[in-house]
Amino acid sequence: MELNGQYFSFEELCYATAMSSQTVKEIINHGIVEPVGSDPDNWRFSMQMVSISKKAYRLHRDLEIDWSGIALAISLLEELEQLRDENRHLRKRLERFLSD
């Protein structure tokens, strides 16, 4: 498990997300998460990848979205969050500028 920069192994990811190894491989094959390492024995996953995997699995299970659709949805959600962060940052800068 990830502690102080350490990563989850493939088995730990399966356990932490309560997903089968085949489901995790589907998520990887569709580029939803990209583990560090060359094969399942060496794959490592960050805490963010665990979170994304859980979100992807919920979308697949609850809404019956196919993996390709989930990959697109996750990408759009990440882009939206990045834009929101940038917007917050720019608003703070603007507030400082206007208050001077």
Q: Is residue 2 in some structural domain? A: no
pTM of the full predicted structure? Answer: 0.78
Tens of pLDDT, residue by residue over 53-92, are: 999 999 999 999 999 999 999 999 999 999 999 999 999 9
Which amino acid does the sequence have at 87? N
Q: Give the CATH number for residue 56.
A: 1.10.1660.10
In 3-state terms, the chain is what percent helix, strand and coil (to 5)?
A: 65, 5, 30
Within 10 A of 41 (CB to CB), how many other CB atoms are there? Answer: 9
Tens of pLDDT, residue by residue over 23-47, are: 999 999 999 999 999 888 899 999 9
Q: Is residue 55 in some structural domain? A: yes
Q: Is residue 93 in some structural domain? A: yes
Q: Who's near 13: CB < 8 A, 6+ residues apart?
A: 19, 24, 43, 45, 49, 50, 53
The angle formed by the CA atoms of residues 86, 31 and 10, to the nearest 5 degrees, is 110
